[in-house]
Chains A and B, each alone.
Chain A
Amino acid sequence: MSANLIPLLWEATLQTLYMVAASTILGTAFGLPLGVFLAVSQRGELLSAPWANKVLGLVVNATRSVPFIILVVAIIPLTRAIVGTSIGTNAAIVPLTLAAIPFIARLVENAIREVDAGLIEAARAMGATPFQIIRKVLIREARPSIALGLTLAVVSLIGYSAMVGAVGGEGLGDLGIRYGYQRFMPEVMAAVVVVLIVLVQLVQSIGERIAARFDKRAPRNRGR
Chain B
Amino acid sequence: MTGNPAAGAARTAAAGAAISFSGVGKAFAGPGGARVHALDDVTLAVEPGAICGIIGRSGAGKSTLLRMVNGLERPTSGTVTVAGRDVGRARGAALRAIRREVGMIFQHFNLLSSRTVAGNIALPLEIAGEPAEAIRARVTDLIARVGLDGLAARYPAELSGGQKQRVGIARALATSPRVLLSDEATSALDPETTQTVLRLLADINRDLGLTILLITHEMAVVRDIASHMAVIEGGRIVESGPTYDIFTRPTHPTTRSFLGGVTGLTLPAFIAGRLLPARPDGPSEEVIRVTFAGTHATDPMLSKLAVEKGIASNILAGAIEEVGPHPFGNLLISVDADRGPEARAYLEQHGLLTEVLGHVR
Contact = CB atoms under 8 A, between A and B. Distances in A.
B13 interface: no
A127 B72 contact: no
B158 A119 contact: no
A143 B72 contact: no
Interface in A118-156: 118-119, 121-129, 132, 136-137, 140-141, 143
B102 interface: yes
Given A127-B128, A216-B113, A216-B114, A136 B123 contact: yes
B99 A124 contact: yes
B102 A125 contact: yes
Nearest to A216: B155
Interface string A6-40: 00000000000000000000000000000000000
Contact of B123 (A118, A126, A214, A219): A126
B346 interface: no
A218 interface: yes
Contact of A123 (B100, B127, B175): B127
Interface string A97-135: 000000000000000000010110111111111001000
A67 to B, nearest CB: 38
B70 interface: yes
Interface residues of B, number: 30
Contacts of A119: 110, 112
A123 B123 contact: yes
B115 interface: yes
Which of the listed residues B95, B104, B112 has the most CB atoms from chain A within 10 Å of its own CB?
B112
A222 interface: yes
A129 B112 contact: no
B113 A127 contact: no
Interface string B137-165: 00000000000000000011110000000
Nearest to B70: A125
Contact of A217 (B108, B113, B127, B175): B113
A125 B99 contact: yes
Given A122-B106, A137-B112, A222 B99 contact: no
Contacts of B95: 127
Interface residues of A, number: 25
B180 to A, nearest CB: 11
Which of the listed residues B70, B114, B124, B126 has the most CB atoms from chain A within 10 Å of its own CB?
B114
Nearest to A143: B114
A141 B113 contact: yes
Contact of A141 (B100, B112, B124): B112
A214 B114 CA distance: 7
B96 interface: yes
Given A127-B96, A140-B115, A217-B157, A121 B128 contact: no
A141 B127 contact: no
Nearest to B124: A126
A218 B114 CA distance: 10
A132 B113 CA distance: 17
B168 to A, nearest CB: 8
Contacts of B104: 122, 125
Contacts of B155: 216, 219, 222
A126 B113 contact: no
B97 interface: yes
Nearest to B97: A127
Contact of B106 (A118, A124, A132, A218): A118
Contacts of B100: 126-127
Given A121-B72, A125-B72, A219 B127 contact: no
Contact of A136 (B110, B111, B113, B126): B126
B157 A216 contact: yes
A153 to B, nearest CB: 21
Which of the listed residues A126, A137, A214 has the most CB atoms from chain B within 10 Å of its own CB?
A126
A123 B104 CA distance: 10
B157 A126 contact: no
A140 B112 contact: yes
B114 A129 contact: no
A217 B108 CA distance: 14
Contact of B114 (A124, A127, A140, A222): A140
Nearest to A125: B104
A155 to B, nearest CB: 25
B119 to A, nearest CB: 10
A136 B115 CA distance: 10
29 contacts: A119-B112, A121-B106, A122-B110, A123-B123, A125-B104, A126-B99, A126-B123, A126-B124, A126-B127, A126-B171, A127-B95, A127-B96, A127-B127, A128-B96, A132-B127, A136-B123, A136-B126, A136-B127, A137-B112, A141-B112, A141-B114, A143-B114, A216-B155, A216-B156, A216-B157, A218-B157, A219-B157, A219-B158, A222-B155
Interface of B: 70, 72, 95-100, 102, 104, 106, 108, 110-115, 123-124, 126-128, 155-158, 171, 175, 181
Interface of A: 116, 118-119, 121-129, 132, 136-137, 140-141, 143, 214, 216-219, 221-222
Given A129-B96, A129-B127, A216-B155, 9 more contacts: A118-B106, A125-B72, A126-B171, A127-B97, A128-B127, A141-B114, A143-B114, A216-B113, A221-B157
